[in-house]
Copies of this chain bind each other. A is one copy, B any other.
Amino acid sequence: MDRFVSTFTNKIDAKGRVSIPAPFRAVLERDGYGGGIYCYPSLDAPALDAGGERLAQKIDGLLAGLPDYSDERDELSVALYGDVQVLAIDGDGRIVLPQPLRTHAGLQSEVTFVGLGEKFQMWAPERFDERRRAAREKVQEHRKLLGRAARSDGSEGDGA
């Protein structure tokens, strides 16, 4: 199994360190681990996107299609690479979140890790709760359309 699933909430300690949930670490290790995870601010949410090599290659793939020295490439490069931070994982499976990233996601003392398949997100727990509540409502609406819904409600299980 190579996907990030489930949600976990861990604490940020005095040094700004957070443990990556062990199941996520296991996925990262299978995913050609290159010394760290790739992390950047989510484009449309107060959260951080993160993943391993597979995610990095996806970003490269986006740029590979554009000609060198084109305006689009330059802009996309700045937007994609410019925001990306490579976060080293220490011997205990923890990362340090730099201040700019913490600010974007509004992270204070806890981080909720949300598995999204090939990548995962990091949220401030309160904001994620809010988001999840909104998502539930939408799912309720879609349910009628989807018939038997894709997920009955497996999205909780976070340890908080």
Contact = CB atoms under 8 A, between A and B. Distances in A.
B157 A150 contact: yes
A117 B78 contact: no
Interface stretch (A10-18, A89-97, A137-145): A137-145
Given A68-B62, A140-B43, A152 B119 contact: yes
A155 interface: yes
Contact of A5 (B78, B149, B158): B158
A3 B58 CA distance: 15
A29 interface: no
A132 B115 CA distance: 27
A134 B79 CA distance: 8
A30 interface: no
A142 B63 CA distance: 13
Contacts of A5: 38, 81, 84-86, 158
A94 B51 CA distance: 31
A116 to B, nearest CB: 5
Interface of A: 1, 3-7, 23, 34-35, 38, 42-45, 49, 58, 60-63, 68-69, 71, 74-86, 114-119, 121, 128, 131-132, 134-136, 138-140, 142-143, 146, 149-160
